[in-house]
């Protein structure tokens, strides 16, 4: 799981039937997450641009959002209210 900031969204009118009705957000992983560049994630919690979110990746993304038969590699599964940095 990674923490990232929602920096945008994607609109897709034509997609796999298993993805119809879902919102897609662009997430920039925060520093030190070693997660690389921006990713597109299915949003199951109603996150907005500018919010910090928890993103499940890989098979955990499908399980975490209850879409085991959908082609999902990343899913926003939580919005961060607060956190603490530990050195």
User: What are the tens digits of pLDDT across the range 36-78?
Assistant: 789 999 998 999 999 999 999 988 888 777 777 888 899 999 9
**Full domain range(s) for residue 20:** 2-79
Residue 47 lies in a domain: yes
Q: What is the pLDDT of residues 23-35, one digit of tens each?
A: 999 999 988 767 6
What CATH number is attached to the domain comprising 36?
Answer: 2.40.50.220
Q: How many domains does the chain have?
A: 1
pLDDT at residue 87 in the model: 62
pLDDT at residue 77 in the model: 93
SS (H, E, C) the chain: CEEEEEEEEECCCCCCHHHCCCEEEEEEECCCCCCCCCEEEEECCCCCCCCEEEEEECHHHHHHCCCCCCCCCEEEEEECCCCCCCC
Under 8 Å between Cβ of 56 and 3: no
Residue 12 lies in a domain: yes
Residue 14 lies in a domain: yes
Residue 54 lies in a domain: yes
């Amino acid at each position: 799981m990674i923490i990232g900031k929602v920096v945008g969204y994607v609109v897709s009118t034509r997609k796999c039937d298993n993805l119809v009705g879902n919102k897609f957000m662009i997430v920039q992983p925060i520093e030190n997450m070693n997660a690389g560049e921006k990713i597109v994630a299915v949003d199951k919690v109603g996150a907005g641009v500018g919010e910090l979110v928890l993103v499940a990746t890989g098979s955990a993304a499908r399980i975490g959002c209850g879409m085991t038969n959908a082609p999902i590699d990343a899913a926003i599964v939580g919005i961060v209210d607060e956190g603490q940095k530990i050195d």
